Amino acid sequence: MRRNFFFITLVFLFSLNAFAASIDSVVIKGNRRVPTQTLQKYTVHEGREFSLAEVDKSVKDLFASGLVTDVKVDMRVDDDRLVLVYDIKEKPYVNKVYFNGNTEVKTRLLEETITPMSGQLLDSKKVESNQQLIQEKYSEEKFYSAKITAEVEDRGNNTVDVVYSINEGAQAKIYDIKIEGNKHFKEKEILKEMETSRKGFWSFLSGSGTLKKTELRTDIERIRAMYLREGYARVIVGDPDVKLSENRKKIYVTIKVNEGIRYKISQIEFAGYEHAKLEDLQKSVALKTGDYFNVEKFQDDVKAVTSVFTKIGYAYANVAPNTSMNDESETISIRYDVEENHLVYINRINIRGNTKSRDRVIRREFDIAEGELYNSKFIDDSRRHLEFTDYFDSVRVAEKRVGQDSIDLDVDVNDKMTGMFSIAAGYSTIDKFIGTVSLTQKNLFGLGYELTTKGEFSSSSTNYTVSFVNPWLFDKPYSFGVDLFNTKREYDEYTKKSQGFAFSFGHQIIKRRLYGTIKYKYEDNELTDLDDNVADIIRAQEGKSKIISITPMLKWSSTNHPYLPTRGNQTSLFVKMAGGPLGGTYDFAKVGADTTQYVTVFWKVVFMAHLEAGMIKMFDDNDAPIAERYRMGGMYSIRGYEYGDISPVDADGNKFGGTKYIQNNFELVFPLVTSVQLMGVMFFDQGQSYDEEESFLGRELARSYGAGVRWYSPIGPLRFEYGIPINPEDGLTDHGRWEFSIGGMI
């Protein structure tokens, strides 16, 4: 602080009766950014009697405000007026904060860590505090040897930049994890359950050996859950002991476990109930007497016991589990105390959010109606039925109590785009480039009708089909469908044309599980442009023919998702009967069956096993029609082979299709990017087509393997897969083959 008082000022003061003068004016200069009004809060005010003590105090207040770095106070007389002048130097403003040298910890993360300074007055304490925060952030990221320095650089115009220079050093890695006190589980079993792991050879790619506090806390709970599932109801897993090596580059973790007693269940009781059968309650629980206690199953059993009552109308049933442990016998007894409360009925089912789908399209998916007794299973099933329609982006069913014995169901849906424009493409030596364009609307007019138009084009084929399906005829569980088709394909050996129509009727035999349909089909076929070397069976069918048939079919479905199932089964069986009293050129029966099982094997990896087979039996002297014969290969058959490659051949090596076939496909489907439904797939296919003189498996199966990706994107499904034949027959390629299809929403 500098204060300059001139001699003339002293003379003036003495002449004004011993310092009794008042200050006529206060002038503040030197400030650029801080408003004068703000500084005046700390200075001596005009009209006050001059006091050296007050001036001194005002200077101290200015420094304490944190707004200035220097103050000069002068006094002068202008035209007999006493003027007090404060000449200040402001603190600089921080223009920007920079980080130099950080590569492992991103700048964005550091900016979120520190207290903001840009656009504020420079505060040395804040600069130091932020330096410490950066140091702590690097410690959290396991860079224990990181060094942080701070510099203030002048930018002119009373502004500065704050620059933090960072020497990150090496990130500390976990070199050992020890489990102490474990007897039931081996150390490697516990380590396998943990997300935290030791540093491995590929740690620079996999990230192994990195210590994250949140992951480690979760790992402690995982270890505890392992023991709780095995009956160790009082297990204690201590806080991890984390130690650093002297060079602060190696981390050693020790986790201590106190297993305690392993308890078995000695008794299971149910009390307080009136309206359920004891055997139903006993069947509902997974834990039985003599089992080791399992906390996860125990929690599920509480829900299962509760659902016994919510399924019969007791919506507000409460089940309070009570356990009693006996350390001497090492047993646990369980008692479920039930409070049934009272019966509840459905008052109203309120449909909201549907801008396209009609209310009745939604209501017909409900297994419960207004006025009926509450049933939690029917309500949950109804929500799943709505999701399976694939008409909505989201489905939410909320319960709202409107009386002591009644509730409303508020059904909130969000209509999605149900029109799909799909394009599929492929390549083969027969057709060269193959393109398919289809337009599908699964919820036509919001009535649940499905309309599909499809065209297939290549240098050797043109196919047109139109199909319409009403899955709920008259809003009853009956379906009705119509198909129209006109196709033409030029094979190497012949050209085949086909046109006709079909009608189908269906019924839900077991609601939303077992479906029965029957289809009537009329088709005109024509074989022309036969090659000189065509098989005799095909040559005999040159010209026009009619196939008129009726096909009854049964289809079973128990999958948990319409297009991304992780569990469940799909099975179908059909018998196509042609000719006889129906008329037509051929008299035959064609039988086919297929089944697909989905199982989640671990994490989100789904195993799919598919088996199908079929055969044709002729009841006249004709050979089986070429249009009905089995020629295999391609995306939906045996990948790695072209369509038609897998077929019986005559003595001259000409393919003509089989009268029976078998096909087997295995897949492992796993998520690559879950958030966008990008999936990876590995597969193994095998199958063969046989002539009527051959028996099933009478010839070696054609086999292939491969991998690919599937993306269930917002613009439609995409499949891109590469198959490699394992044992191709003579004359067939032995190298791999790409196939793909892609679709888009409209």
Residue 417 has pLDDT above 90, yes or no: no
Using alpha carbons only, what angle is made at residue 721 by residues 720 and 725, rounded to the nearest 5 degrees? 160
Half-sphere exposure of 304 (CA within 13 A, CB side): 15
Question: Residue 645: its pLDDT value, please?
Answer: 86
Question: Residue 14: its pLDDT value, please?
Answer: 39
- Residue 412 tokens read as 């909130």
Q: Which long-range contacts (CB under 8 A, 24 or more apart) does 353-356 make?
A: 353/412, 353/413, 353/414, 353/415, 354/413, 354/415, 354/446, 355/415, 356/415, 356/443, 356/446
What would the mean pLDDT of 368-379 be, rounded to a whole number? 95
Residue 670 has pLDDT above 90, yes or no: yes
Residue 8 has pLDDT above 50, yes or no: no
Query: Phi and psi of 277, rounded to 5°?
Result: -85, 140
What would the mean pLDDT of 330-357 be, rounded to a whole number? 95
Residue 590 has pLDDT above 70, yes or no: yes
d(CA 372, CA 346): 6
Q: How high does pLDDT run on average in the chain?
A: 87
Sorted by where each starts, the structural domains of the chain and their CATH numbers stand as: 2-90 (3.10.20.310), 93-167 (3.10.20.310), 173-258 (3.10.20.310), 264-339 (3.10.20.310), 345-415 (3.10.20.310)
Residue 294 contacts residue 275 (beta carbons within 8 Å)? no
pLDDT band at 170 (very low <50, low <70, confident <90, very high): confident
Question: Residue 66: its pLDDT value, please?
Answer: 76
Read off the pLDDT of residues 506-519 as tens digits, 9 standing for 90 and up. Answer: 998 988 889 999 99
Question: Residue 186: its pLDDT value, please?
Answer: 94
- Residue 124 tokens read as 């040395």
H helices of 65-174, in order, are: 107-113, 124-140
Within 10 angstroms of residue 689's Cβ, the number of other Cβ atoms is: 28
Read off the pLDDT of residues 75-122 as tens digits, 9 standing for 90 and up. Answer: 888 877 888 899 888 888 899 999 998 988 889 999 999 999 988 888
Residue 430 has pLDDT above 70, yes or no: no
User: Cα–Cα distances in Å, from 433 out to 304, 458, 602?
Assistant: 56, 6, 40
Residue 428 has pLDDT above 50, yes or no: no
Read off the pLDDT of residues 434-477 as tens digits, 9 standing for 90 and up. Answer: 677 788 899 999 999 999 998 877 666 788 899 999 999 998 99
d(CA 390, CA 361): 12
d(CA 578, CA 320): 63
Question: Residue 29: its pLDDT value, please?
Answer: 87
Residue 426 has pLDDT above 70, yes or no: no
The helix (H) or strand (E) run that includes residue 148 is strand 147-156
- Residue 529 tokens read as 């442009």
Question: Residue 92: its pLDDT value, please?
Answer: 86
Residue 638 has pLDDT above 90, yes or no: yes
What would the mean pLDDT of 236-252 be, rounded to a whole number? 85
Residue 740 has pLDDT above 80, yes or no: no
Residue 732 has pLDDT above 90, yes or no: no
What would the mean pLDDT of 36-62 be, rounded to a whole number? 87
How many H helices and E strands in the chain? Answer: 13, 33
